[in-house]
Amino acid sequence: MQLELSVDRSSPVPLYFQLSQQLEAAIEHGTLTPGSLLGNEIELAARLGLSRPTVRQAIQSLVDKGLLVRRRGVGTQVVHSQVKRPLELSSLYDDLEAAGQRPATKVLVNTVEPASAEVAAALGVAEDSDVHRVERLRLAHGEPMAYLCNFLPPGLIALDTDQLETTGLYRLMRAAGITLHSARQSIGARSATAPEAKRLAEQAGAPLLTMQRVTFDDTGRAVEYGTHTYRPTRYSFEFQLLVRT
């Protein structure tokens, strides 16, 4: 069966992007089955009236996503194993929403305070300089799921408590025009202290999953530092990752 592909040269969408989207949709949809060969690049370019570099660019973007594999002398194949979700800078809010869990957020603290040494080091600001402190409890189905404590440098975004209760922090930052670039994360575990246990409706000493994260924008500024604790019976970190080549 012949795959239907076409590009619209009058569209402002780049040609390689149009092609990669169509290929991705065909893979997602099962029209291109795992293991099937894509056909050689020259022929594909001729069929679409594109140059080979343009077709290569489209294919390369899907190789980078892990959907296709290229073998010299063989061809380009659709990967067998379905790549579900590449690891991304995930927002717990988005994660829960995607899982259909209707997340709720309760803002416990939303204030400005002097930075501790730890916070100052993480955000790259002077010690005792003002930073925002936000503490939130994230619930799903009315059950506490995670306790989130975040610090932000001043003047970055307006931290409105109502907004914080209806969406995630990353969405607020993106909406404010901040381009997130990278994050440094650390995931661990430890026993709950008495106040932690109380907040999360666990028993003191219960195991907790912990995550610390510093997020940077594309200018290299630290835009957020967070220390989070999760109830491991309710949440775990799941992700797919690709091998660097």
Partner DNA sequence: GAGTGGTCTAGACCACACG
Partner DNA sequence: GTGTGGTCTAGACCACTCC
Rounded to a whole number of angstroms, the minimum distance from the CB of residue 150 to DNA is 28
State the binding string over 3-22 for DNA (x if CB under 7 A, else -): ---------x-xxxx-----
Plot region of 140 (φ>0 → left; ψ -120 to 50 → alpha; else → beta): beta
Rounded to a whole number of angstroms, the minimum distance from the CB of residue 245 to DNA is 10
> Scanning residues 140 to 199, which ones bind a second copy (CB under 8 A)?
180-191
State the binding string over 82-111 for DNA (x if CB under 7 A, else -): ------------------------------
Q: Is residue 98 helix, strand or coil? A: helix
Backbone φ, ψ for residue 195 (5° rounding): -65, -35
CA distance 161 to 111: 10
Q: Which does 40 bind (CB under 5 to 8 A by kind): a second copy, DNA, none?
A: DNA
Q: Which does 149 bind (CB under 5 to 8 A by kind): a second copy, DNA, none?
A: none
CA distance 27 to 18: 14
At position 3, the amino acid (one-letter code) is L
Element (H, E) at 214: strand 207-217
Supply angle C-alpha 9, 12, 17, rounded to 5: 80
> Scanning residues 44 to 63, which ones bind DNA (CB under 7 A)?
49-54, 56-57
Show the beta-strand stretches assigned E in 44-175: 68-71, 75-78, 103-114, 130-140, 143-152
Tell me how long the chain is.
245
Q: Which does 29 bind (CB under 5 to 8 A by kind): a second copy, DNA, none?
A: none
Nearer to DNA, 72 or 244 (CB): 72
Nearer to DNA, 80 or 84 (CB): 80
Selected range binding a second copy among 19-27, 64-72, 99-107, 155-163, rule: CB under 8 A: 64-72
181 interacts with DNA by CB under 7 A: no
Q: Which does 216 bind (CB under 5 to 8 A by kind): a second copy, DNA, none?
A: a second copy
CA distance 18 to 55: 10
At position 147, the amino acid (one-letter code) is Y
Exactly one of 1, 2, 8, 73 binds DNA (CB under 7 A); that residue is 73
Nearer to a second copy, 108 or 242 (CB): 242
